[in-house]
Amino acid sequence: MTENTFNTPAPGSPGPEKPRSRNGLIYGILIAALAGTWIYMLYDKNKSSEQLAQKTVQVDSISSSRDALQQEYNAANARLDDLVSQNTRMDSLVKTKDKEIQDMKARISSILSNKNATQAQLAEARRLIEQLKSSIEGYQQTIERLEGEKIVLAGERDVARKERDSVGVVKDSLNKKVDLGSVLHASNIQLLPLRIKHNGKEVETSKAKRADMMRVSFDLDDNRIAPTGDKEIFVAITAPDNTPLAVEALGSGRFTLEDGTEKLYTTKKTVAYTTGQKQSVTMDWKQNSDYKVGDYTVEIYHNGYKIGQGKVTLKKGGLF
């Protein structure tokens, strides 16, 4: 029988234990690798969670900043609208820079309406809002300055108006004195009833039945203030029954008194007056009806002022 030398362990060797040791080493390496993988995966997951948390905090911070800026922008806009609504000058001031203001507001609104706005964009929006607020503050100061100037100007205008009114009053007073001074004065006033004979001769009469016309005669006294020129003189005759002798068809009418009221006149005449000279005037009134018995009064007017008056009495009729 032949001896098997290949399966016989050498003297002093561990024998079949050597393959089993190699397997254990491989298993250990695999377990260590698996454990490392798990540890890496846990680390990566934790890091991703931290990054996500940081991004969430960052987004929340941007959103809060955007909301805060939106509130500031709304407040600035409200103040601007209030200034414009309360002051027309503010509206004109804003309109002079309308393009600049509108561009600024449009850019701010664009940034604040963007939910994905970056910190840099929000910083730009904040800068523009501060610029808008600064412009509004400047407008407010301009309005206050203009209002102050308005008060000063109003005071100056009030003083000027009072001075002008005072000068006007003095001027009006002087003009009135001049006007009064230039009013002529009548003297030596006579109202003569006249009878006209068949041959045309005029004869004075005191009988109402015989009177054909009334002749008013008077003197315009010398006046050194009244300028040379035509002066319109009005004569108003009143009958015994207090009715005015006035017939429009015979040249009568109305004239205005110095107080603005109107009065009937019997007849009028334009007199060529010379400054500083006394002048005699006659005016005739021939009516288309009989004269009544009683007292007749005559009043003479110039520039709306009564400058003289007289009276005559017509008696009841007789032979002559």
Inform me whether the pLDDT recorded for 256 exceeds 70.
yes
- Does the pLDDT value for residue 174 go beyond 50? no
- Tell which wins on pLDDT, 253 or 63: 253
Q: What is the pLDDT of residue 48?
A: 62
- Residue 267 is predicted with a pLDDT of 95
pLDDT tens digits, one per residue of 227-252: 899 999 999 999 999 999 999 999 99
pLDDT in tens, 7-26: 555 555 555 555 556 667 77
For the cut 80, the answer to whether the pLDDT of residue 315 exceeds it is yes
Where do the domains of the chain lie, and which CATH numbers do they carry?
27-147 (no CATH), 186-314 (2.60.40.10)
CA dist., res. 301 & res. 265, Å (int): 9
3-state secondary structure labels for all residues of the chain: CCCCCCCCCCCCCCCCHHHHHHHHHHHHHHHHHHHHHHHHHHHHHHHHHHHHHHHHHHHHHHHHHHHHHHHHHHHHHHHHHHHHHHCHHHHHHHHHCHHHHHHHHHHHHHHHCCCCCCHHHHHHHHHHHHHHHHHHHHHHHHHHHHHHHHHHHHHHHHHHHHHHHHHHHHHHHHHHHHHHHHCCCEEEEEEEEEEECCCCCEEECCECCCCCEEEEEEEECCCCCCCCEEEEEEEEEECCCCCECCCHHHCCEEEECCCCCEEEECEEEEEEECCCCCEEEEEEECCCCCCCCEEEEEEEEECCEEEEEEEEEEECCCCC
> Is the pLDDT score of 98 beyond 50?
yes
**Mean of pLDDT over the chain:** 78
pLDDT tens digit sequence for 24-53 = 777 677 777 777 677 767 666 666 666 655
Residue found by looking up tokens 């003479």 in the block: 300
pLDDT of residue 163: 67
Q: What is the pLDDT of residue 67?
A: 76
